[in-house]
């Protein structure tokens, strides 16, 4: 009897410890999405392929040469499109979603329409990458690419991809 009572007391003490620790230490929390290795690797691979395409046209490319590049544009746009969908559809931790609706968070996050973009910013940066590649493709097809215009597209692209890759790498914790 006394042995059973001791076990009950131990169990009760353990449960108390769980609740006490949770109250005192709080529990661990998730405020941003989990690390997605496939997304990070996909960004890295698509980035490498995009840099190769920039290298192919960096000395300029007339519109007559566009057909030789059409498949590459399609592959890059398709790859980044898939990555954007993957990033946009991943879950945001429930606690973070609730916090995003508070007035305090809205002061921290400059996005007034949808504060959750500050908890998952990568899709918007990939959208910028897609806008760059699509405009570059249209320019290539209609008037050709001067070297200096390629430089402009590359600068715009590098800023956007740096944002996405930096944050995705930081999520590995």
Partner 1 sequence: MMDASAILTDLQAALKGELGAGYSTISSFVARQGRLLADQAAFIAEQRATGALRDNDALYEHFVAGLKTNAINLTHHVAMLTALTIEKAWNAVANVLWGAMRSIMSASGVPTALLPATPPHV
Contacts with partner 1 by CB under 8 A lie at 10-11, 13-15, 17-18, 20-22, 24-32, 94-96, 108-111, 117-121, 124-125, 128, 131-132, 135, 139, 146, 148-149, 151-152, 155-156, 158-160, 162-163, 166-167, 170-171, 173
CB of 78 vs partner 1, minimal distance in Å = 21
Nearer to partner 1, 67 or 110 (CB): 110
Considering only CA atoms, give the Rg of the chain: 24
Reported for 121-127, long-range contacts at CB under 8 A and 24+ positions apart, including other chains, are 121/163, 121/167, 122/39, 122/87, 122/163, 122/164, 122/167, 122/168, 123/84, 123/87, 123/88, 125/160, 125/161, 125/163, 125/164, 125/167, 126/43, 126/80, 126/83, 126/84, 126/87, 126/160, 126/164, 127/84
Q: Are 99 and 31 in contact (CB under 8 A)?
A: yes
CB of 15 vs partner 1, minimal distance in Å = 7
Nearer to partner 1, 77 or 117 (CB): 117
Nearer to partner 1, 36 or 71 (CB): 36
CB of 118 vs partner 1, minimal distance in Å = 4
Nearer to partner 1, 28 or 71 (CB): 28
């Amino acid at each position: 009897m006394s042995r059973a009572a001791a076990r009950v007391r131990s169990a009760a003490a353990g449960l108390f410890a769980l609740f006490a620790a949770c109250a005192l230490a709080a529990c661990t929390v998730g405020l941003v999405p989990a690390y997605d290795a496939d997304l990070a690797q996909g960004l890295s691979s698509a980035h490498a392929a995009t840099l190769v395409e920039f290298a192919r046209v960096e000395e300029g490319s007339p519109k007559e040469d566009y057909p030789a590049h059409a498949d590459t544009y399609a592959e890059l746009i398709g790859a980044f499109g898939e990555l954007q969908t993957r990033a946009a559809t991943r879950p945001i931790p429930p606690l973070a979603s609730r916090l995003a609706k508070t007035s305090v968070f809205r002061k921290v996050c400059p996005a007034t329409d949808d504060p959750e973009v500050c908890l998952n910013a990568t899709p918007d940066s990939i959208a910028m990458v897609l806008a760059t590649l699509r405009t570059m493709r249209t320019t290539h097809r209609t008037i050709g690419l001067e070297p200096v215009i390629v430089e402009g597209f590359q600068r715009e692209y590098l800023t956007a991809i740096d944002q996405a890759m930096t944050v995705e790498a930081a999520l590995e914790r």
